[in-house]
Amino acid sequence: MRSLRIWSGIGVCTTVAVLTPVAHAAPEAAQPAVVAPTFQGDLDHALDKIFAGEGGEEGAGLTPMWPTVSAPALTGPEIEKVVKGNTLTMKWHYDYYFLPDGTLLGTQTSFEKLGDASKCPKGFVEGEGYSMSSDGKTCWKIPVVPAAGTWQIKNHQLCLDLSWKGGAKQSCQYLTILLDNIALFDANGKIDGKGMKLVKGKFLTKLAHH
């Protein structure tokens, strides 16, 4: 069991115990078997809520909030139900579209600091190749390039193998639903990035011209 801290929008830090469904050897007769809890609630209902933009209602994936909170890692079949035919996305970073045949299509975004605001083209569309800092003083080039590879599920983990111009990703990680976010994390409990959104069907960021 791993404990993670999650910051809510009101600045409150909640400790979340993420339980991984790891297979164990048969216990000795004197020791009871430990069974990891399953997804809290109805997974189909939770997915419907997420796709309708109402994810997080009824504490999707989480146990009752007091005195402790746990978010079990999904089992292999549950992971498949979540990602198959859908897209995991993190705005300004990447999109991963999971085709039913095990093919993985995506986009990957990189960031290159160009300099002051004058470096951005006049009349550029935010997010389509360029971005301006919130204070309007710094221009960033953010080329979006295509990525492709494969995905599969092994030992209750989501395994990705994809590459793009200038980079690649090979990983096997656990997956859990935290209200309306999807989190991938490793065996040490480290979350990959800062959580992702689940989008029904195919959703890929428009590729920048390059």
Say what the pLDDT of residue 10 is. 30
CA 156 to CA 141: how far, in whole Å? 38
Say what the pLDDT of residue 130 is. 83
Give the predicted TM-score (pTM) of the model: 0.76
Q: How far apart are the first and last CA of the chain?
A: 45
- Please provide the average confidence, as pLDDT, over all residues in the chain: 82
Q: Determine the CATH number of domain 75-110+143-199.
A: 2.40.128.640
Contact 157, 171 (CB under 8 A): no
For residue 170, give both structure tokens: 């090979």
Contact 8, 14 (CB under 8 A): yes
CA 112 to CA 109: how far, in whole Å? 10
Say what the pLDDT of residue 127 is. 65
- 13 pLDDT exceeds 60? no
- 169 pLDDT exceeds 80? yes
Question: What is the SS3 assignment for 48?
Answer: helix
The average pLDDT across 115-139 equals 83
- The pLDDT tens digits for 54-77 are 888 888 888 888 888 888 999 999
| Stretch (H or E) spanning 51 | helix 43-51
The average pLDDT across 157-166 equals 95
The amino acid present at 159, given as its one-letter code, is C
Confidence of residue 36 (pLDDT cuts 50, 70, 90): low
Give the residue ranges of DSSP H helices in 52-153.
76-83
Say what the pLDDT of residue 35 is. 44
